[in-house]
Chains A and B, each alone.
Chain A
Amino acid sequence: MKPFDAHECSQLNELKIDMSALNMLAGWAPTGDILMMEQMPIFGGYTGGVEETTICDVATMIASFVIFDCDIHLDGPIHIRWGTTTTRETLKIAAHAAAALDFNTDFLLANQYYTLAGPCTDMCLLETAAQAITDTASGRELISGVASSKGVMQDKTTGLESRMMGEAALATCGMEIETVNEVLDNIVSLYEKNYAKAPQGKRFQDCYNVRKVEPTDEYIDIYDGVLRTLLDCGIEL
């Protein structure tokens, strides 16, 4: 790793850390390395409800800076049933926690993306867009993704999901929050009824030409279709 890269280490759920993380921090901090501390609070876990999980998330983020001396906090509120960051509840936790810190500190806050659906599906791209819109509008400084298929399926992630993440963020910058909330309600309503039958999607090697590193025509058609859907939802990418 180079001085212009960032080192990542994790807290544990909730408000916990182990010696391994402390020792890594002790090695990186004195050399001036950039430190990104990660923690993904669990909605429906130890803290239970949306508000309680958000309070714990805010405490966790403050700890990253004031106890562990990190430079960026990498968040990722996750749904205990679905294992994703893109549900209505987890988006609400992420947005409220970020806004609370955004208006009261200058912390550099990041969020990471775990979608339920896999690459080359409408749902995966809609989930990604919803979170990018949420993170941008609530004042986050860095967005990190996308771990499609919950980040657990071999080879089921591709660059096109990151394009959606970035383009959705760009389109959101500067929008009125009331409008953003309407857009988000429209998008989340489209996919939240499909959690139990979310499409698995395709592997990178099945939706990209691996030699040319180009998405297939099928994936580009799906991407274009999602752009039209997002326009109907009130946002033009």
Chain B
Amino acid sequence: MTAKKYVDIYEAYDRFYEGERVREDQWDYTIVPNNATMIKEKYDISFGPDIIPTDPDLTDRLFLAGMDMLLTTGFYNTDLGRVMYITEEELFEGLKMAPRKLTLGRGKEKCKCKARRGNAKSKPVVQGGPTGAPVSESVFVPMIESYVQEPVVDTIVSGVLNTVDGHPVTANTPWEIKATMAEIRHVREAMLKSQRPGMCI
């Protein structure tokens, strides 16, 4: 049956709220692993020695297996302890909603992130940075500068401060918010110092 519309975040919440109750350990240790094994057998998924796949039939079956895994298993909300499902038609509507290209950054640092196909001649966007690794306040700005100044780097991914103004950063406290704001400020300062203020964070 044709889908009425794609599933958005509000519809997702409503489906979680009204969804089937499942214990989290049941989800982790029984439902997900059993479904993955069953679907692997159903679609005859078996990899050879190569890291990059060379068999287009295998990658097509893998795509179908991934769709089946999502449709059959659903998605679990850990706070509500409930499972939501989407239909195949809704899945296809959602596929159409996904963007094929995005613009990241501004001015001279603007870059396009657009769909590549296989090992295309166009390079992927290069996002440089500590990728969430812990960084001392004393070296935060120069460390980020070390990424910004690399010509091959297009956008920046930040690191994590574990102190702000010398105060420890505890998760789920106002200090965590303060540290996050400080990280953004420091990244912008590093971009300004390296004369690339328009880079995307």
The answer to whether A and B interact is: yes
Does chain B have a CB within 8 A of A162? yes
**What residues on B are CB-neighbors of A50 within 8 Å?**
47
Query: Is the CB of A58 closer than 8 A to any CB of chain B?
Result: yes
The 8 Å CB contact of A136, one of B10, B124, B130, is: B124
Cβ B131 vs Cβ A112 within 8 A: yes
Given A48-B33, A52-B36, decide whether A143 and B146 contact each other with a Cβ distance below 8 A. Answer: no
We find that the number of chain B residues with CB closer than 8 angstroms to chain A is 106
Chain B contacts for A158, CB-based, 8 A: 143, 146
B1 contacts across to A, CB distance below 8 A: none
Instruction: Decide if A66 touches B86 in the complex (CB within 8 Å).
Output: yes
CB distance B97 to A51 under 8 Å?
no
State in angstroms the CA–CA spacing of A213 and B147 once bound together: 10
Min Cβ gap A142→B in Å is 4
A185 contacts B51, C-beta separation under 8 Å: yes
In the complex, A159 Cα to B152 Cα: how many Å? 11
Measured in the bound complex, the distance between the Cα atoms of B136 and A154 in whole Å is 7
Kindly state the separation between the CA atoms of A192 and B129 in the bound complex, as whole angstroms. 25
Q: Which residues of B contact A205 (CB under 8 A)?
A: 139
Q: Chain B residues near A66: list those with CB within 8 A.
A: 6-7, 70, 86, 90-91, 93-95, 97-98
Q: Could you tell me if B60 and A103 are in contact, using CB atoms closer than 8 angstroms?
A: yes
Choose among B123, B130, B143 the residue that contacts A173 (Cβ–Cβ < 8 A).
B123
Please state if B62 and A145 are interface contacts (CB–CB under 8 Å). Answer: no
Q: Which residues of B contact A154 (CB under 8 A)?
A: 134-136, 162
Give the residues from 94 to 151 in chain B that come closer than 8 angstroms, CB to CB, to chain A.
94-95, 97-106, 110, 113-136, 139, 142-143, 145-150
Per the bound structure, the CA–CA distance linking A90 and B53 in Å amounts to: 13
Q: Report the separation of the CA atoms of residues A51 and B86 in the bound assembly, to the nearest whole angstrom.
A: 24
Does A106 contact B127, Cβ atoms closer than 8 Å? no
- Report how far A125 CA is from B127 CA in the complex, Å: 16
Q: A142-B124, A144-B131 are in contact. Are A46 and B32 (CB under 8 A)?
A: yes
> With the chains together, A153 CA to B132 CA distance in Å?
11
Contacting residue for A181 out of B32, B39, B52, CB 8 A: B52
B8 lies within 8 A of chain A by Cβ: yes
When the two chains form their complex, are residues B9 and A29 in contact, meaning their CB atoms are under 8 A apart?
yes
Task: Name the A residues within 8 Å of B95 (CB-CB).
Answer: 62, 65-66, 105
Q: Does A155 contact B (CB under 8 A)?
A: yes
CB distance from A65 to the nearest CB of B (A): 4
Residues of A within 8 A of B173 (CB): none
Given contacts A51-B47, A59-B66, A174-B121, contact A138 B52 (CB under 8 A): yes
A58 proximity list for chain B (CB < 8 A): 62-63, 65-67, 69
Task: Check A173–B121 contact: CB distance below 8 A.
Answer: yes
Which of these, A104, A159, A213, contacts B128 with CB under 8 Å? A159
Q: A15-B32, A55-B40 are in contact. Are A145 and B9 (CB under 8 A)?
A: no
B59: interface (CB < 8 Å)? yes
> Is A166 part of the contact surface with B, judged by Cβ < 8 Å?
yes
- Do A4 and B69 touch (CB < 8 A)? no
Nearest Cβ distance between residue B136 and chain A, in whole angstroms?
5
Q: Establish whether residues A67 and B152, one from each chain, have CB atoms under 8 Å apart when the complex forms.
A: no
Residues of B within 8 A of A138 (CB): 52-53, 119
Task: Choose one: A103, A114, A167; the contact of B118 (CB below 8 Å).
Answer: A103
Which of chain B's residues has its CB closest to A140's CB?
A: B124
- CB under 8 Å from chain B, chain A span 109-151: 110, 112-114, 134-149, 151
- Contact status B33-A47, CB under 8 Å: yes
For the complex, give the distance between the alpha carbons of A146 and B150 in Å: 13
Can you sample 12 A-B contacts with CB below 8 Å?
A15-B32, A19-B80, A46-B33, A61-B66, A62-B66, A138-B119, A144-B131, A155-B143, A162-B129, A162-B147, A184-B52, A204-B142
Besides A51-B45, A107-B98, 18 new A-B residue pairs in contact (Cβ under 8 A), listed by A number: A1-B201, A4-B105, A15-B27, A15-B70, A26-B13, A66-B93, A69-B9, A95-B51, A100-B63, A105-B98, A142-B126, A142-B127, A152-B133, A181-B52, A185-B51, A204-B139, A211-B142, A213-B145
